[in-house]
Structure 1
């Protein structure tokens, strides 16, 4: 019997470089509050745990506590143009095409909201490669929670007994895969290898 193969991708820093647009959005809000902008290297160190956590860390770095208003303003600004400067990593498009040709089924599992994740995938021109998109709002979750791998697989109407791999650039991605008995694949990008 043919075993179904499933590739579960994180979104940011695994498929595309979200840092330029995230940094620009948070710096716009920083400017409003008279705070100095964060640098791209500072932003990269704070990414990976969702937009809310990123905003909290960015404001803390400049000595201010981010409240609900600052976080909402940042998320709204980023949500309006999440791919203005952000691009797919080199080789991603070819890798997705190859996986499809080899019979892999693919899912995106992210800590972005599903609405935002869908917008990003469509604007990057890769939405059609994926069987399902599973993000914040589908269920309260942490990225490292391994139950979400099974939820994402079930949502795509795929069998969880087949071979699957979690592809991400954050330690939480690797942890979730290992806790669920899945194969983790760490992605090395210009932001470093985790």
Structure 2
């Protein structure tokens, strides 16, 4: 009880995100995001992968999707030539604990990783800090399956993700339509009130003239 009162209890879990970026049928990078930390395996011109780590204190999935920076990024949506980001689970570890596990896992691999080594790294590292899995955990496992060694062998985007995107667009359009209706009704009501006021003013002026 005292721990909860003084904020010393267990911390809430942090969402863990996984992304895959394919551009012109070439896998550009895999990325894990947790607690504002971005752990990337970026494809080099020679075809192997290297580590790129970054910290964004105000990171959000919307910012990530809308601000690709200097990356070559596929379009968000169906097909293989795309950028996909899904939540694969959550973690109760602190940022420092996650950093420690990242460093320890990096020591087991060379500075540049082959495709298979990159998949192996992702599995080993992620399994150390993800303690709760979501529906899209299966998508992460399929991407890091050693039997998938080229882009055509990677799993397609989750159908639920694609449908969800379309549903979100439809919901946004419906919200805009409802807002437009409210604005039109408000303007019509104001116009009616103004006409009534003008009529009252005209009637009062006529009464004054008749006197």
TM-score when normalising by structure 1: 0.26
Structure with bigger strand share is 2
Higher relative contact order (CA 8 A, sep 6+): 1
Query: Who wins on radius of gyration, i.e. which is larger?
Result: 2
TM-score when normalising by structure 2: 0.25
